[in-house]
Amino acid sequence: AQAQLAHGQRMEALGQLAGGIAHDFNNVLQAVSGGAKLIEDAGDNLARVRRIAAMVREAAVRGAAVTRRLLAFSRRADLRAEPLNAHDLLREMQEVLAYTLGGGIKMEVEVEARLPPLLADKGQMETILVNLAANARDAMAGQGTITFSAGIALVSGEDGGGPPQLALGAYIRLSVHDAGVGMPPEVLARASEPFFTTKPQGKGTGLGLAMARGFAEQSGGAFALESALGQGTTVSLWLPAAEEELPAAGPPASTYPDHAKIEHGNL
């Protein structure tokens, strides 16, 4: 039933993706065929023919951009998972994240002490964190704090813990929290659909959250959004904890404290 559900969700996402692509491509094709018709009717007005040809070429460039978006979305198929230490990853990314956030916004990092590594594709993980930072930045008027946090989440079956689609096991929960504008319920409900955006043309692709969701699910984890209008947004990814090799001699694996200390700030 789990697998069927996941399959259903994939089909649904694919349907939405196809719908979005079809819509965008339709616009491009209309511009191309409309342009061709205008050229047919332009007689020997060379200046006019050239103007229309330029317009048709621009439409083709837009078509290529649609294809690139599709490719970027399908690239998630070849993820290569490796054990990643959340603290190291965020430290390595500090500069690029700070750059993304711009001058006025502060970045805070809270990583649980002795957090086991997570298992995910590093390049894709970085892309997604930058996307989430950009979304958070767009939601805040150039000031305030964005918090990146990472902690352990054990899904044991009894207490649930984490989104329902997660299989039993240990996960690392990575969250990006902003105290920005937040989303109204109708945006929240659709925010992770491919090509859904509320941003002006040319600003948003509508793929950031769809990619984040796809990435988390393809990595064997889960994705969740919490948001309240006027209060802020938290985007969470659950990613499987990497199986750690047991030391040759020493204590058994379950030595992570129940309430691990949180390290604040300063990477």
Distance CA 236, CA 173 (A): 7
Q: Beginning with the edge strand found earlier in the chain, give each strand of the sheet holding 105-112 in spatial order.
A: 222-228, 232-240, 169-178, 144-155, 105-112, 262-264
Listed in sequence order, the residues at least 6 apart from 86 whose beta carbon sits closer than 8 Å to its beta carbon are 111, 115, 117, 118, 150, 172, 174
74 binds ligand ADP (CB under 6 A): no
User: Segment 224-243, which members bind ligand ADP (CB under 6 A)?
Assistant: 233
Beta carbon of residue 192, minimum distance to ligand ADP (angstroms, whole number): 6
Measured from the CB atom, the residue of 51 and 190 that comes closer to ligand ADP is 190
Beta carbon of residue 161, minimum distance to ligand ADP (angstroms, whole number): 24
- The token duo for 155 is 């899904």
196 binds ligand ADP (CB under 6 A): yes
Asked whether the beta carbons of 136 and 99 are under 8 A apart, the reply is no
199 binds ligand ADP (CB under 6 A): yes
Beta carbon of residue 262, minimum distance to ligand ADP (angstroms, whole number): 22
Distance CA 210, CA 241 (A): 22
User: Segment 153-182, which members bind ligand ADP (CB under 6 A)?
Assistant: 178, 180-182
Distance CA 217, CA 129 (A): 16
- Which residue in 28, 101, 155, 210 binds ligand ADP (CB under 6 A)? 210
217 binds ligand ADP (CB under 6 A): no
- In the chain, the N- to C-terminal Cα span, in Å, equals 42
Beta carbon of residue 100, minimum distance to ligand ADP (angstroms, whole number): 12
For residue 118, which of 260, 254, 240 has the smallest C-alpha distance?
Answer: 240
HEC per residue, 137-165: HHHCCCCEEEEEEEEEEEECCCCCCCCCC
- The token duo for 122 is 């590093």
Measured from the CB atom, the residue of 39 and 191 that comes closer to ligand ADP is 191
135 binds ligand ADP (CB under 6 A): yes
Measured from the CB atom, the residue of 89 and 183 that comes closer to ligand ADP is 183
- The token duo for 13 is 């996402």
191 binds ligand ADP (CB under 6 A): yes
User: Segment 26-65, which members bind ligand ADP (CB under 6 A)?
Assistant: none
> What amino acid is encoded at 51 in this protein?
R
Measured from the CB atom, the residue of 116 and 206 that comes closer to ligand ADP is 206
Beta carbon of residue 121, minimum distance to ligand ADP (angstroms, whole number): 19
Chain residue at closest Cβ approach to ligand ADP:
208
198 binds ligand ADP (CB under 6 A): yes
Q: Which stretch binds ligand ADP (CB under 6 A): 1-9, 44-52, 91-99, 198-206?
A: 198-206
Chain residues that interact with ligand ADP, rule: CB under 6 A: 135-136, 139, 178, 180-183, 187, 191, 196-199, 204-210, 233
